[in-house]
Amino acid sequence: MKRTFLKLSALVAGVALFAQPALAAAPAADAVGGGTAYILNTLLFLIGGFLVMWMAAGFAMLEAGLVRSKNTSTQCLKNIGLYSIAGLMFWVIGYSIAYPGFAEGSLGLFGIAGFPYAMQGVGEADLDTGYSVASDWFFQMVFCATTASIVSGTVAERVKIVPFFIFVTVLTGIIYPVVVSWEWGAGYLDSVHGFSDFAGSTLVHSTGGWAALMGAIIIGSRAGRYGADGKVNVFPGANIPLATLGTFILWLGWFGFNGASQLAMGTVGDVSDVSKIFVNTNMAAAGGVVVAIILTQILYKKADVTMALNGALAGLVSITAEPLAPSVGQSILIGGIGGAIVVFAVPMLDKFKIDDVVGAIPVHLFAGIWGTMIVPLTNSDATYGGQFVGVALTAVWVSLASAVVWYALKLTIGVRPSEEAEIGGLDHAEIGVEAYPEFARTT
Amino acid sequence: MKRTFLKLSALVAGVALFAQPALAAAPAADAVGGGTAYILNTLLFLIGGFLVMWMAAGFAMLEAGLVRSKNTSTQCLKNIGLYSIAGLMFWVIGYSIAYPGFAEGSLGLFGIAGFPYAMQGVGEADLDTGYSVASDWFFQMVFCATTASIVSGTVAERVKIVPFFIFVTVLTGIIYPVVVSWEWGAGYLDSVHGFSDFAGSTLVHSTGGWAALMGAIIIGSRAGRYGADGKVNVFPGANIPLATLGTFILWLGWFGFNGASQLAMGTVGDVSDVSKIFVNTNMAAAGGVVVAIILTQILYKKADVTMALNGALAGLVSITAEPLAPSVGQSILIGGIGGAIVVFAVPMLDKFKIDDVVGAIPVHLFAGIWGTMIVPLTNSDATYGGQFVGVALTAVWVSLASAVVWYALKLTIGVRPSEEAEIGGLDHAEIGVEAYPEFARTT
Amino acid sequence: MKRTFLKLSALVAGVALFAQPALAAAPAADAVGGGTAYILNTLLFLIGGFLVMWMAAGFAMLEAGLVRSKNTSTQCLKNIGLYSIAGLMFWVIGYSIAYPGFAEGSLGLFGIAGFPYAMQGVGEADLDTGYSVASDWFFQMVFCATTASIVSGTVAERVKIVPFFIFVTVLTGIIYPVVVSWEWGAGYLDSVHGFSDFAGSTLVHSTGGWAALMGAIIIGSRAGRYGADGKVNVFPGANIPLATLGTFILWLGWFGFNGASQLAMGTVGDVSDVSKIFVNTNMAAAGGVVVAIILTQILYKKADVTMALNGALAGLVSITAEPLAPSVGQSILIGGIGGAIVVFAVPMLDKFKIDDVVGAIPVHLFAGIWGTMIVPLTNSDATYGGQFVGVALTAVWVSLASAVVWYALKLTIGVRPSEEAEIGGLDHAEIGVEAYPEFARTT
């Protein structure tokens, strides 16, 4: 998802088109006109955009299924709220920071293109770019929202609504867009280090993961989660089919996430690449599922369904940094290792008393790093050194910035509800609407 | 969504195409051939159509989540049944009434083009219109079904299945198509008053809203809802995550609802407009959510999740009359005011003892009127007078016709179950299948 | 969905394109260039593919809603697992068996094209076929997964995870691909008998149905399902709104299933056909719903929601063998009869003590046979004799092969959990994760 590449290819296509009358008839039969290519490129953004928008519902269902029923309404509210805030903030300032138009020769660490982002008027299509700018903005916006969705799962069940939404505001307005500017905005990581992250294993998923990790540490674990004797108290999710639905929604949305990150389908080559990405994305997820099932069956003599779901997601995150270059077999392997990471990392986090309610840190952060670091295996344009710089710089910036915001919130308005409110459930304390008011509870 | 406009633009495009050989090579590079434009226009209807079809699932989940569990199976049956009936009726007669081909100079109040609608045979494409007629019929049909979905939520929990389905039959076969004929069918409102309703804030949403309001009044409120002392007894919805899912489904579907109402994407200008509509639609919903959250937080010290969900829907309804002309900022404002309308209107309806189970009247009727009346602010082709006539005429016709049907049903086969059946739940009385048979209930 | 046809039409289109410079300007305005057609054909596979992939979630929700809550997590795991296994197996060997490239004059009963399937490298588009091979593979793969999904519903609640997954491995790797090779792979049924099955009423749905039937017989019924006195004990599904959601998901996905089985939308005629298929598919489902509601209302004085849901699915299966040739009225009739089949067949199966948890055998097998046998009514290329041979050969092969596998599993690792484990629920015995741990149960 590198906007700079697209412009170049559009330019080349434009040259070819103007030269067309001089060509023989035969090649022209396969050529696609500039207007048609513009429409098809835009259509890819629109389809990809609505598929990724749908991932917001996927995160909402996944999290609603994995929290306890006393916090389910809160989780629903947080998810629809964060998606809305992400849209508003990405318009007010986010997009302008993400695509600042760095000057030639600048270091490309921070810039801003004016705000709120002045999208073109109706019909004033930007023909030079080869797609509608509004369609591009829409597609980029839903990625921003995805980053925020990752955080809400980890810190569920013990953060108040208002500080959570304030954190989302900063994350989607500043923290995430800065990371994007370094790479897709043709900044430091792209121009200096040749960092490669096709659809955002690092830019989206690790960013969300670091922000979530800082939240989990600074907010602390849920009341009663870790006993004084080191015992981990399991708080099972209240609704496994909802979590399953959420995972399927995310899997579906990921075809848009990775596929449309090709950024163009107005040529035979581009649409073939999008097709390849669909296959690889699917197979990486399949690999993650199968590995997670086999491992849990071996380790625990049970096929843990939540591990299988997270295995799918880890497979998807793993292939996101490079869904085009690998062969199908390589994709299965990359995704399968992602699934294994989840199976081992989930209990490991509990060892460190890091309380990640839905397993978002293993899925998005650890598998995101894995996917990013393995890119050079299949894409010779990337280097292990360049990939490491991208991972490390994102880690430093997002962790620091997130920690500052979470701490500031903790010291001012406070991030946690009272222990009484937490034990009674956030739905009662913060929302006033129970998720399942009629169902008698065993706990 | 004005079919007359499309034919004109297709004609213009056709002229340009035939003239093409005489043009220089450069402009031709951006031109889209007639066959390609036909395919792309048709594809827009197909994608938009399946997205709006998906809204039927959204209404089903929203309503299944907001009724009490003793009526949930009934609500599921009603929703899949009404979607099916709408399809059948729109084929038998609805489409023929909606697009009667009014004679030049006629008043354009009622016409009929023959029935059942004789869709073209396979492959006999109507090249003059610039799209497949079957794709257009499909897209129009799912709008018809949406109108019926709106009603089912308001009158839930106390109307029997058979009279409900009979009402849906008349609504989708006659009442709604007549309204459509006045505007999108190039009838009275379009030709005489210049009424403007891009994707149906009035034609679809207010029509559904008036039909629902008449139902709520004539059927009466649920047993025990309003105490003799004016007290409103709250009947909380049984499954908030399902309602959340329904809202996300509707939000997703709305990209088809508004975006494909552009009716064409076979030109660079059209697909750019569709993109703009996607952005505005999304941002209006975001505005509605954020305003609803802030207002409920201020008014009730809680962020009411059902208000947030209805805020999203109200934002979407508000922007539907004109999703293209506004700037992004204007769209946020239009949607935000829609969200505010819901927060204030929901308790107001209860003051009048109008029992709207899911809040469909504030969302679809009130926000639909708001969205329609504000069109002239951003679209200079519309006038406040013309908009008022459209709103008022729809109000009179739909209210009268709906009232007649509801009353006729009340006086003949009856609309309500016995009070015993209502208190025991419609699932037991009418369906014989409990929604959640294994979950012990607290009530 | 006959690949042989597509290649022919692509060839014809290619000839027309090369001849294009000699044509007059007017026809050229409607012509679509080869590159554009390639993109549009590929896009159809991608959109159709993600819609059919989404059906995996539909089956998961349908089944999760119709089993008892003690087996819900297991059903979720089985569904995400089978979808993953299907993808892997279709890559390792399935696709190579399905499309073996039968030699001219061979009987076309079994072949294999080399494995794992060597999908083309990135950008090496196969221009001769007129679409990206990766997009085609993706589309074919999700059909393979659908076949496996059908089985999991019938044999739910009493088969262990490991033997189930082994069965899925053989079904998706061998049994199903062999059936496909006979027809879409241009083998025996296609070349010798002129068998016609547009999108798979027999190839997909009956195949899944026969495999499910053999499983139901060999595994046996659920503990306590049939009393010694012939009494059928009803085990109601635990979550009707989830089953409703699943049905809507399947309905939505079916637009991809049938629509994209046109295999091309790069011409005006093809996209018009896809549109017609959308309409017919929708109307057959609507017919199935309405007939099921009316029949259950008459027979049982209740409108059984699960019958309405299965009526929709039976309507969809019925129209799948030929969604293009019928008129709208014929489609409603074909789907309506499918709905009637379900209403009568569900209790009939219980007479034979065949325990089909979700009704998949009536829906997929019986309605699949009905849809296949009625093709000659509307498609004069098909004969009743040819259709019968296709139905019968599929029955013999799939039943025998499935029986062998189920028996082999029964005799070796065993297919059923202990009766104690079954009564306690598979979620406890096999998964270790309860689906709804907090909800107190009445049973």
3-class DSSP state of B441: strand
Distance of CA C370 to the CA centre of its chain: 15
Residue B166 lies inside a defined structural domain of this protein: yes
In B, minimum Cα distance to C256 occurs at B50
Interface chains of chain C (3 or more CB pairs under 8 Å): A, B
Cis peptide, bond prior to residue B116, ω within 30 of zero: yes
CA–CA separation, C83 and C70 (whole Å): 22
Q: Is a pLDDT exceeding 70 seen at residue C331?
A: yes
The SS3 of residue C316 is helix
Distances, alpha carbon B209 to alpha carbons A372, B216, B281, B362, B399, in Å: 51, 10, 20, 8, 9
* CB neighbour burial string for C377-388, b if at least 16 within 10 angstroms, e if fewer: ebbeebbeebbe
Cβ neighbours of B123 in C, within 8 Å: 269, 272-273
Choose, out of A45, A76, A136, the residue to mutate when testing the contact with B (most B CBs < 10 Å): A76
Two tokens, residue C434:
């309860």
pLDDT of B106 = 86
- Quick check: B75 pLDDT over 70? yes
From C201's Cα to the closest Cα of chain B, the distance in A is: 21
Who has greater pLDDT, A245 or C34? A245
Determine the distance in angstroms separating the CA of A211 from the nearest CA of chain B, rounded to an integer: 23
pLDDT for C220-248, tens place per residue? 999 999 998 889 999 999 999 999 999 99
pLDDT at A105: 82
Is A308's CB within 8 Å of C85's CB?
no
pLDDT band at C4 (very low <50, low <70, confident <90, very high): very low
**Contact check, Cβ <8 Å, A274/C46:** yes
How near does any CA of chain C get to the CA of A367, in Å? 19
Contact C48, C323 (CB under 8 A): no
Burial class, A15, CB count within 10 angstroms (exposed 0-12 / middle 13-18 / buried 19+): exposed
Nearest CB to A442 within list C36, C162, C440: C440
What span, in angstroms and rounded, lies between the C-alpha atoms of A158 and A415?
A: 8
Per-residue pLDDT, B7:
37
Computed over every residue of chain B, the mean pLDDT equals 91
Domain hosting residue A278, numbered range: 3-19+35-103+128-282+382-431
Query: Is A164 inside a domain boundary?
Result: yes
Rg (chain B; Cα; Å): 22
Backbone torsions φ then ψ of C60, nearest 5 degrees = -60, -45
Rounded Cα–Cα distance for residues A75 and A78 (Å): 5
Find chain B residues with C-beta within 8 A of C31's C-beta: 33, 35
> Which pLDDT belongs to residue B6?
39
Chains in touch with A (3+ beta-carbon pairs under 8 Å) read B, C
A91–B304 CB contact, under 8 Å: no
Taking an 8 Å cut-off on Cβ atoms, the answer to whether A138 and B282 are in contact is: yes
Query: What sections of B204-239 are H helices per DSSP?
Result: 207-219
Q: Where are the alpha helices (DSSP H) in A301-441?
A: 305-320, 328-351, 360, 367-373, 375-378, 384-411, 419-424, 426
Query: Inter-chain contact A275–C135, Cβ cutoff 8 Å?
Result: yes
pLDDT digits (tens, 9 = 90+) for A300-353: 999 999 999 999 999 999 999 999 999 999 999 999 999 999 999 999 999 999
Is the peptide bond between B27 and the residue preceding it cis, with omega within 30 degrees of 0? no
Cβ contact, residue pair C241, B61, below 8 Å: yes
Interface probe for C, chosen from A51, A62, A305, A330 (most Cβ of C below 10 Å), is A305
C-beta atoms of B305 and A64 within 8 A: no
Tens-place pLDDT, residues C162-180: 999 999 999 999 999 999 9
**B125:C240 CB<8 A:** no
Q: Which residues of C touch A324 (CB under 8 A)?
A: 122
In a domain, B438, yes or no: no
**Position B4 pLDDT exceeds 50:** no
Range of weakest confidence among B12-21, B405-414, C185-194, C325-334? B12-21
Hey, of B5, B282, B301, B309, which one would you mutate to test binding to chain A, going by the most A CBs within 10 A of its CB? B282
Partner-chain residue, chosen from A30, A265, A308, that has the shortest CB–CB distance to C77: A308
8 Å CB contact between A360 and A58:
no
Domain assignment present for residue B75? The answer is: yes
Question: What is the token pair recorded at C59?
Answer: 């089956």
C344-359 core/surface letters (b: 16 or more CB in 10 A; e: else): ebbeebbeeebbbbbb
Cα C183 to Cα C108: distance, rounded to the nearest angstrom: 9
What's the pLDDT score for residue C116? Answer: 76
Q: Which chain C residue's Cα is nearest to A69?
A: C438
Nearest chain C CA: its distance from A222 CA (Å): 18
Q: Which chains touch B (3 or more CB pairs under 8 A)?
A: A, C
From B84's Cα to the closest Cα of chain C, the distance in A is: 4
Inter-chain CB proximity B278 and A64 less than 8 Å: no
CB-CB under 8 Å, C50 with A252: yes
Would the pLDDT of B10 be above 50? Answer: no
**Domains in chain A, number:** 1
Instruction: Report the C-alpha gap between B203 and B179 in whole angstroms.
Output: 6
Tokens of A115: 């705000």
SS3 B227: coil
On whether residue B320 sits in a domain, the answer given is: yes
Whole-number pLDDT of residue C321: 98
Structure confidence at residue A124 (pLDDT): 58
C-beta atoms surrounding B354 within 10 Å = 17
C265·B39 Cβ contact <8 A = yes
Q: How confident is the model at residue C322 (pLDDT cuts 50, 70, 90)?
A: very high
Rounded to 10 degrees, the C-alpha dihedral C432/C436/C442/C443 comes to -30
C195 pLDDT higher than 80: yes
Is the peptide bond preceding residue C241 cis, with omega within 30 degrees of 0? Answer: no
Whether the per-residue pLDDT at B32 is higher than 50: the answer is: yes
Q: What is the pLDDT of residues B127-173, one digit of tens each?
A: 777 999 999 999 999 999 999 999 999 999 999 999 999 999 999 99
Q: Who among A40, A236, A329 is closest to C437 (CB)?
A: A236
Mean pLDDT by 10 residues, chain A (443 residues): 40 32 39 89 98 98 98 98 98 94 88 77 67 95 98 98 98 98 96 97 98 98 92 96 98 98 95 96 98 97 97 98 96 98 97 97 98 98 98 98 98 98 97 95 80
Show residues of chain B in contact with A124, CB under 8 Å: 272
* CA neighbor of A249 nearest in space, from C56, C235, C239: C56
B116 vs C328: CB contact, 8 Å cut-off? yes
Least confident window among A226-235, C331-340, C353-362, C379-388: A226-235
- How far CA A229 is from CA of A233, A348, A350, B242, B320, in Å, comes to 11, 17, 13, 39, 58
Instruction: Give which of A74, A80, A91 to mutate to test B binding, by max B Cβ within 10 Å.
Output: A80
- In angstroms, the CA A360 to CA A364 distance is 6
CB atoms inside a 10 Å sphere around CB C441: 16
Q: What average pLDDT score do residues B194-213 get? A: 98
List the structure tokens of C136: 């085609």
- Residue A191 inside a domain? The answer is yes
Nearest-CB residue to C306 (from B125, B433, B439) = B433
Q: Please, what sign has the CA dihedral across residues B76, B79, B81, B84?
A: negative
Give pLDDT, residue A22: 29
Query: Which of B413, B438, B442 would you mutate first to test chain C, the one with the most C CBs within 10 A?
Result: B438
Nearest CA in chain B to C21: B21
DSSP result, A31-100:
---HHHHHHHHHHHHHHHHHHHHHHHHHHHHHHHHHS-GGGHHHHHHHHHHHHHHHHHHIIIIIHHHHS-
Interface test with B, best of C274, C282, C304, C330 (most B CBs within 10 A): C282
Residue C118 confidence (pLDDT): 72
**ipTM rounded to 2 decimals:** 0.94
Could you tell me which of C230, C232, C188, C162 has the C-alpha nearest to residue C394? Answer: C188
The CATH number given to whatever domain includes residue C174 is: 1.10.3430.10
- What would the two tokens of residue C342 be? 């379900």
The answer to whether the Cβ–Cβ distance between B268 and A88 falls below 8 Å is no
C310 pLDDT above the threshold of 60? yes
Per-residue pLDDT tens digits for B309-347 = 999 999 999 999 999 999 999 999 999 999 999 999 999
Contact present, A353 and A217 (Cβ < 8 Å): no
State the smallest CA–CA distance between residue A324 and chain C in angstroms: 7
Cβ <8 Å between A278 and C72: no
Chain A residues in contact with C164 by the CB 8 A cut-off are none
pLDDT over threshold 80, residue B60: yes
Q: What is the pLDDT of residue A31?
A: 73
Give contacts of A266 with chain B, Cβ < 8 Å. Answer: none
How far A205 CA sits from the closest chain B CA (Å)?
Answer: 22
Task: Confirm whether A291 is domain-assigned.
Answer: no
Chain center to CA of A160? 23
Residue B110 within any structural domain of the chain: no
Residues of C in contact with A267 (CB under 8 A): 35, 39
- pLDDT for residue C2 is more than 50: no
Residue A356, min C-alpha distance to chain B (Å):
21
Does C123 score more than 70 pLDDT?
no
Joined together, the tokens standing for residue B367 give: 């926000």
> What is the predicted pLDDT for the residue at B114?
77
- Chain C residue numbers with beta carbons less than 8 Å from the beta carbon of B134 are 272, 275-276, 278-279
DSSP string, A150-207: HHHHHTTTSS-HHHHHHHHHHIIIIIHHHHHHHHTTS-HHHHTT----SS-IIIIIIH
The pLDDT, as a whole number, for residue A382 is 97
**pLDDT at residue A145, as a whole number:** 98
What's the pLDDT at C117? 76
Contact B286 A88 (CB under 8 A): yes
| Closest among B142, B288, C254, B309 to A57, alpha carbons compared | B309
Query: Which residues partner with B441 through β-bridges?
Result: A439
